[in-house]
Amino acid sequence: MKYVGKKILTMLLTLLLVSFLVFLCFTVIPGDPAVAKLGTEASPEALAALREEMGLNRPFMVRYMDWLLSFMRGNLGESYSYESSVGELLGDKVPITITMSLMSMLMIVVISIPLGLYTAHHEGGILDKVIYAAGQVIMAVPAFFAGILITLLFGIILKLFTPGGYVSYSKDFGAFLAYMFFPSLAIALPKSAMTVKLLRSGMIEEKKQDYVRTAYSRGNNTKGVLYKHVLKNALLPIITFLGMTFTDIIAGSIVVEQVFGIPGIGRILLTSISRRDYPVVMAVIVCLAAVVIVVSTLVDLLYQRLDPRIRLEVRK
**Phi and psi torsions of 40, nearest 5°:** -75, -15
Alpha-carbon distance of 155 to 182, in angstroms, equals 9
Q: With bands split at pLDDT 50, 70 and 90, how would you rate the model's confidence at 312?
A: very low
Which has the higher per-residue pLDDT, 181 or 212?
181
Highest averaged pLDDT of the listed ranges 28-32, 116-120, 204-208 = 116-120
37 Cβ contact partners less than 8 Å away, ≥ 6 residues apart: 50, 80, 81, 275
Task: For CA atoms 107, 135, 150, 256, give the dihedral sign.
Answer: positive
Residue 245 scores a pLDDT above 80:
yes
| pLDDT mean over 166-193 | 92
Pick from 47-51, 53-57, 233-237, 312-316: least confident: 312-316
How high is the pLDDT of residue 252? 75
Residue 112 contacts residue 196 (beta carbons within 8 Å) = yes
Cβ atoms of residues 297 and 7 within 8 Å: yes
Look at residue 204 and tell me whether its pLDDT is greater than 80.
Answer: yes
pLDDT at 310: 56
Percentage of the chain beyond pLDDT 90 is 18
pLDDT digits (tens, 9 = 90+) for 267-311: 888 888 877 788 888 888 888 888 888 888 887 777 777 665 555
Average pLDDT over residues 214-227: 76
Q: What is the mean pLDDT of the chain?
A: 84
Q: pLDDT band for 175, please (50, 70, 90 cuts).
A: very high
Quick check: 225 pLDDT over 60?
Answer: yes
Q: What pLDDT is recorded for position 90?
A: 84
For the chain, what is the largest distance between any 2 Cα atoms, rounded to a whole number of angstroms?
A: 86
Over residues 227-254, mean pLDDT? 80
By mean pLDDT, which of 1-10, 46-55, 234-243 is the weakest?
A: 1-10
Per residue in 20-39, pLDDT (tens digit) is 988 888 777 777 777 777 77
311 compared with 216, residue with greater pLDDT: 216
Measured at the CA of 300, the angle between CA 254 and CA 228, to 5 degrees, comes to 105
Q: Rounded to 10 degrees, what is the CA torsion of 164, 169, 173, 176?
A: 20
| Helix (H/G/I), strand (E/B), else coil: 85 | strand
pLDDT the model gives residue 315: 52
Among 84-88, 197-201, 260-264, which stretch is predicted with the lowest mean pLDDT?
A: 84-88
Four-residue CA torsion sign, 253, 259, 264, 265: positive
Cα 250 from Cα 211, distance rounded (Å): 38
What value does the mean pLDDT take over residues 187-209?
88
Question: Domains along the chain?
Answer: 2-89 (no CATH), 94-263 (1.10.3720.10)
pLDDT tens per residue across span 46-68: 888 878 887 778 888 988 899 88
- Residue 125 has what DSSP assignment? S
Residue 35: which residues within 8 A CB-CB, separation 6 or more? 42, 47, 276
Greater confidence (88 vs 252) lies with 88
What is the arithmetic mean of pLDDT over 259-268?
86
Q: Is 217:181 a contact under the CB 8 Å cutoff? A: no
